[in-house]
């Protein structure tokens, strides 16, 4: 979650600053084909970029990604994928505390057959953005990795 806050959320007003923020966080840009594709809306985006923080044997990698807006897709998407064992439930609680959903309303559901998600909209830097957390096992967000994302319209 610290990388998400220090990159995606800190740079939400201008996601072009994201590469610098990720470099300061110790992340290295890698080929986007060699890691997670992020939220479905980012998976096939032209110009998609990916960074990784490798932390040694047995610890797993963490990733951050960015999908710029393109013709016919006026959205910028920034995401992070936590290391295995980081609780999506904890990340969700913290993100909702820092950026509360209006009237406490969120959208929840199933993703990728077995996973779950929760997302909501907030106003940040004068723009409506969507914040979300996905996790691998719908009934148990405490296990597996967590995917945190921000989606911002460029219109």
pLDDT by residue (tens digit) across 83-126?
666 778 888 899 999 999 999 999 998 877 778 899 999 999 88
pLDDT tens, 115-149?
Answer: 889 999 999 988 899 999 988 765 666 666 788 99
| Structural domain harbouring 55 | 2-153
Report the pLDDT averaged over residues 41-51: 91
SS3 content of the chain, % helix, strand, coil (to 5): 25, 35, 40
Task: Work out the angle at residue 51's Cα, subtended by the Cα atoms of residues 155 and 149, and round it to the nearest 5 degrees.
Answer: 45
DSSP letter at 83? Answer: P
Total-model pTM: 0.87
Distance CA 89, CA 139 (A): 11
Our count of domains for the chain comes to 1
Alpha-carbon distances, residue 60 vs 9, 22, 44, 103 (angstroms)? 23, 18, 25, 37
Query: What torsion do the CA atoms of 41, 52, 24, 150 make, to the nearest 10 degrees?
Result: 20
Q: Is the pLDDT of residue 34 over 90?
A: no
Q: What pLDDT score does 151 carry?
A: 95
CA distance 7 to 19: 9
Predicted pLDDT of residue 58: 54
Tokens found for residue 82? 């936590």
Contact 21, 6 (CB under 8 A): yes
pLDDT tens readout for residues 48-78: 999 998 665 555 568 899 999 998 889 999 9
């Amino acid at each position: 979650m610290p990388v998400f806050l220090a990159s995606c959320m800190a740079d939400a007003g201008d996601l072009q600053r994201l590469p610098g923020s990720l470099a300061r966080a110790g992340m290295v840009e890698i080929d986007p084909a060699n890691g997670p594709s992020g939220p479905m809306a980012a998976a096939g985006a032209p110009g998609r970029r990916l960074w990784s923080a490798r932390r040694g044997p047995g610890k797993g990698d963490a990733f951050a990604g960015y999908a710029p807006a393109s013709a016919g897709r006026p959205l910028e998407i920034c995401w992070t994928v936590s290391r295995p064992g980081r609780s999506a439930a904890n990340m969700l609680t913290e993100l909702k505390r820092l950026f509360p959903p209006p009237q406490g309303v969120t959208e929840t559901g199933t993703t990728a057959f077995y996973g779950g998600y929760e997302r909501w909209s907030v106003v940040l830097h004068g723009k409506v953005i969507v914040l979300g957390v996905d996790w691998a096992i719908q009934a148990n967000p405490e296990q597996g990795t967590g995917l945190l994302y921000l989606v911002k319209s460029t219109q």
